[in-house]
Amino acid sequence: MAKIPEQLGSLTLVRQIGTGRHCQIWEAVDKKTGGRVAVKAIVPAMAADPEQRQLLEHELKVAKSLDHPTVIKIDRLSEEGGVPHLVMELFPHPDLKKQIAAGVESLAPKLQRLVTETALALDHVHARGWVHRDFKPDNVLAAGDGQVKLIDLAIAAKAAGFLGRLLGAKNPAKGTPSYMSPEQIRGEPLDARSDIYAFGCVLFELIAGRPPYQAPNSNDLLNKHVSAAVPAVSAVNPNATTTVSDLLRRMLAKKPSDRPASMQEVLKQLRAIRLLERATLS
């Protein structure tokens, strides 16, 4: 398999820090500035695929419309040696998926900051008219003190307005099965409440160590999002408070109209409650 060249113009790739189906993420040194950056490069086997370049172009467009300390900044889209790549802010910390896998107990002391900053990131995305559509722990980088950066805006879409919801225009059902809202699964018009559902799935996982629904295959998993009862997070982790259990039940409601109306509302409630009975390591 062909490798991404170690040199992309002025960028020297020094360490691979992430990977996906079609892209790799590298830490790089920019010889022009001497600074360190992150590089999201299409793997050589897919470099000529126009759809992959369009995704990078779209991600750059979305990122350029955003400006918040909790959202990763993207500087430019370049192509060197036939490899299209994004050059972005480097935030050298593991994503929440890796941190959850290491044990949610270690996240307890910083959980309140983690979820508050992540909610602020989504609120900013929504305020600029976008729905992330692939919000999941893998797409949140988190430092040891709880500071976060939201990443991967490649499939973000404009939120459906009143007319779009009224007409019920269909959209391709893109996303990650463990975190997709029922309306996203059905390909219906989406607004901020779809990301609120995904945020509920992630909050559940941060407390319970697993997403709210599990199944042996994607079809069964998607069916659970559409029709299964909302599980109680306290049944998995008794340290969860009653108030966070109630909030999660509303965030994971099957109908968007039964969920909090905005991330602003979610933020207000998050700031008013405790997530855990004990927020320190025992």
The residues carrying an active-site annotation are: 134
Query: Residues with Cβ < 8 Å from 175, sequence gap 6 or more?
Result: 133, 134, 155, 184, 198
Residues β-bridged to residue 149: 141
d(CA 129, CA 277): 36
* Token reading at 20: 């996906």
d(CA 197, CA 179): 8
Q: Please give the torsion angle defined by the CA atoms of residues 167, 172, 175 and 181, in that order, rounded to the nearest 10 degrees.
A: 30
DSSP symbols for 149-177:
EE---TT-EEPP-HHHHHHT------S-G
d(CA 272, CA 119): 14
Checking phi first, is residue 168 left (phi over 0); if not, alpha (psi -120 to 50) or beta? left
Closest CA to 122 of 73, 194, 56, 175: 194
